Chains A and B, each alone.
Chain A
Amino acid sequence: MSEEIKETEITCKICGRKVMTDGSGDFSSFICEVCQEKANLPAYEAEMLEYEGGDKEGLTESQLRRVSFLQDKINAVKAILQEEEDAAKAAEEKK
């Protein structure tokens, strides 16, 4: 017998995006993954600079994995920002 999972629709307080959750409690301060990733972008770029400022030869295996992870994150967030900019431009041109 499977247990029914109760889902609730919650709203990001920054962008208004709706997300379903199986959680409970107070959702009034919820920030969605996309908005948080946008807020994280300067921190990702700063951490990347720390690695790039050093000698890549001297990086450990785990640090090299982190550099690759950061690059993927930065690219993904920049792609979202670009999409939003394009959409805003398209909406402006329609007016």
Chain B
Amino acid sequence: MAIPNKATGAGNNNAQNVFKLTFSNALSSAPKIEAWDNSQTFPAKDSAGTTTAKEIFTGTAGNSSKPMLYLAATTSAAPGANWKPASASAGSANPNRLKGSTNYVTDPTTPGAGGAILFNIGLEVPYDASVPSSSSAAHMIQVRYTYTGSAPSLTWAFNEGSEGTPSWTTITPGTHGLRYCNSSTSWAAGPYKLTLPASGTVDAGEIGVTA
């Protein structure tokens, strides 16, 4: 298996082993997972998030101006069925909708050296979202962490195996990206599309990592 491929269980599913972030050295507090605008053209990325002005964060009239991304920290347990939060909670919550440092998720653990956190992520898009979405949905996932002593190096990965027997493949930030797609997407050949509904919202049925 290799990139591009589907991240097993990603989205509004009861899956614990979807994305993994490993820290080479111990942290001194629980890491926080955030999402911000990416003003660069993929695969380039900003060094750090500063704004949440893109439509993926501002929402539209069709979803009552809600952030579209949602995330659950699953390090300690699976998120449960249909875990998508209806709306964003101010500050931290688990799960939560994502919008910079205004709405984010704190992992329930503080990893030691070589420790890892797990998370699942989803996207809910309203019918009236901008098309094409190449700029309006350009975002990056950012983890905020603290440490004492040596800085940790971080290794991002996604699960290409099963929920019960995960097989982790490394993701390289600035090279690989996430695609939020329809169910039954051909991850080897594409197309990588999420079809908007005539009304209401649609959740990405599959999420994968692509070059």
Binding site for B on A (CB under 8 A): 10, 13, 19-27, 29-33, 36, 39-40, 42-44, 47, 60, 62-63, 65-66, 69, 73
B113 interface residue per 8 A CB criterion:
no
Choose among B39, B51, B94 the residue that contacts A39 (Cβ–Cβ < 8 A): B51
Q: Is the CB of B89 within 8 A of A30?
A: no
Instruction: Given A25-B93, A44-B53, verify A31-B131 contact (CB < 8 Å).
Output: no
For the complex of A and B, the 6 pairs showing the least CB-CB separation, nearest first, are: A25-B106, A25-B92, A23-B93, A43-B53, A23-B89, A21-B90
From B100, which residue of chain A is reached at the shortest CB distance? A36
Interface residue count on the B side (C-beta < 8 Å): 34
From B34, which residue of chain A is reached at the shortest CB distance? A29
A94 CB, min distance to chain B CBs, angstroms? 33
Q: Can you list 8 A-B pairs, Cβ within 8 angstroms, ordered by A?
A: A10-B90, A26-B30, A30-B91, A30-B101, A30-B102, A39-B50, A43-B39, A65-B60
On chain B, the residues within 8 Å of A32 by CB distance are 90, 102
Q: A25-B91, A36-B100 are in contact. List 4 more A-B contacts (CB 8 A).
A: A13-B101, A25-B94, A30-B102, A36-B99
B96 interface residue per 8 A CB criterion:
yes
From B55, which residue of chain A is reached at the shortest CB distance? A66
B22 interface residue per 8 A CB criterion:
no
B194 interface residue per 8 A CB criterion:
no
On chain A, the residues within 8 Å of B58 by CB distance are 69, 73
Instruction: Given A30-B102, A40-B51, verify A23-B91 contact (CB < 8 Å).
Output: yes
On chain A, the residues within 8 Å of B39 by CB distance are 43
On chain B, the residues within 8 Å of A10 by CB distance are 90-91
A13, B101: Cα distance in complex, Å: 10
On chain A, the residues within 8 Å of B30 by CB distance are 25-26
